Structure 1
Amino acid sequence: MKLYIKSAAAAVVLMGGMGVAVAENVVVVQPEQETVVREYVKKQPLASVNLLGVELKLGSPVPDTVELREVPNVKYRVAVINDQTVLVDPDTHQIVEVLH
């Protein structure tokens, strides 16, 4: 019985550590930042870049050829790809948010 409890406790600790590791890789875009981006795109329309075969989902890479526009007071850059507004991490060129 003691062995079972120790194993269960170890599993919980290991799973908790994995959860933290996954959580560290998740980017959280605050609603205020989304609002700022939406307003920016309304005032400064961006031409949509059509990219065949590019999935617009979290973590998808954006080619270096796509112009990333800086938005004041927002860490991430904005682009419009296939008529979808996306936020992109300027360091990794990966999509961190797809705005609907």
Structure 2
Amino acid sequence: MKKVVSSALAGLFLLGASGFGFAQTVLVTPEQETVVREYVKKKPLASINLPGVELNVGSALPETVELHTIDAPDIKYRYVVIDNRTVLVDPGTRKIVRVIE
């Protein structure tokens, strides 16, 4: 009986943890992504290479990477171009919130 209860509690914990992960997901609206794409076309940056850094949502960029402001209303993120992909970054945490191909 203890095994069944332990398994059930572990399952509930995993479900709760996964729900927490989804609550942490940062959303970039399609409208915001369009604004970012247009802005980057107007003000292109040279692409940089960051060996050993994975471009995944939630990964943090090193302090040595310069983040650039997007001069548009309702866009609080900064951007950088890495491996020819536009990467949106939360400036407070330096975590990637979106990779735009």
1:78 aligns with 2:74: no
Alpha carbons of structure 1 residues 19 and 36: separation in structure 2 relative to 1, 3 Å: same
Corresponding pairs, count: 94
Structure 1 window deviating more from structure 2 (88-97 vs 13-22): it is: 13-22
| Unmatched segments (≥5 aa) in structure 2 | 1-7
Partner of 1:38: 37
Q: Contact 1:49/1:66 (CA < 8 Å) preserved in 2?
A: no
| Unmatched segments (≥5 aa) in structure 1 | 1-7
Alpha carbons of structure 1 residues 63 and 39: separation in structure 2 relative to 1, 3 Å: same
Q: What's the offset of the Cα at 1:37? A: 0.5
Larger radius of gyration: 1
Q: What's the offset of the Cα at 1:20? A: 3.6
TM-score by length of 1: 0.79
Alpha carbons of structure 1 residues 14 and 62: separation in structure 2 relative to 1, 3 Å: closer
The alignment's C-alpha RMSD in Å is 2.1
TM-score by length of 2: 0.78
Deviation per residue, 1:16-67 (Å, 9 max, x gap): 6445412221111101110011000000001111111111111111111111
Structure 1 window deviating more from structure 2 (85-94 vs 70-79): it is: 70-79
